[in-house]
Structure 1
């Protein structure tokens, strides 16, 4: 891990958010972070995953705000079931973004080594 790992991950996260219209933005943001980081495959994997985690924070914050602040139903059982479902969806979204960003990080580090 270099001194710039978190900066590279932050730049990759910003790219992920800005390129969200593409549909593959986590891969592109992770690839940018991996390219900037350089090094071995593990370095790209690590910085890509960190980039995905950082990029997930705003989305997770909005999901939590909308889904927990808006009342679901007056019945406690329905609310509990909804909370479990919502937490599962949030965990899957977080894992999806981190995994694709990590793959992008590996691709970025590979491209950096080959150029």
Structure 2
């Protein structure tokens, strides 16, 4: 398996995820496109879909990290720490959501490519 093609397929899937984000299932569709382009076995689709989800998560992570720095600084350290932990938890969930759905889409894309 050529790593350059895998990264290119993952990037194409990430762009599709970004473009189709208004559908609500953009990560699945982007991962499916990446998995379809990658072809091969189910594990190949899973890998390229997960990479695609990680690439697609970068803009979301950037925005959420920016929000983390915009959180007003309260005089109480507990409020600041609690807010930071909450926002970091949201960042982790957004990353996991996008990556997991893209991996599922990658498996579906590889399966469709193999069966058609």
TM-score by length of 2: 0.95
Q: Which contiguous aligned blocks of 4+ residues in structure 1 show a shift greater than 2 angstroms?
A: none
**Contact 2:71–2:83 at 8 Å: present in 1 too?**
no
CA distance in 2, matches of 1:96, 1:43: 20
TM-score by length of 1: 0.95
Show the counterpart of 1:29: 30
Show the counterpart of 1:66: 67
The 5 Å alignment of 1:41-80 reads: 41-80=42-81
CA RMSD of aligned residues (A): 1.0
Show the counterpart of 2:97: 96
CA distance in 2, matches of 1:34, 1:72: 44
**Contact 1:47–1:102 at 8 Å: present in 2 too?**
yes
How many residues align? The count is 115
Return 5+ residue gaps in structure 1 as ranges. none
CA distance in 1, matches of 2:48, 2:57: 14
Return 5+ residue gaps in structure 2 as ranges. none
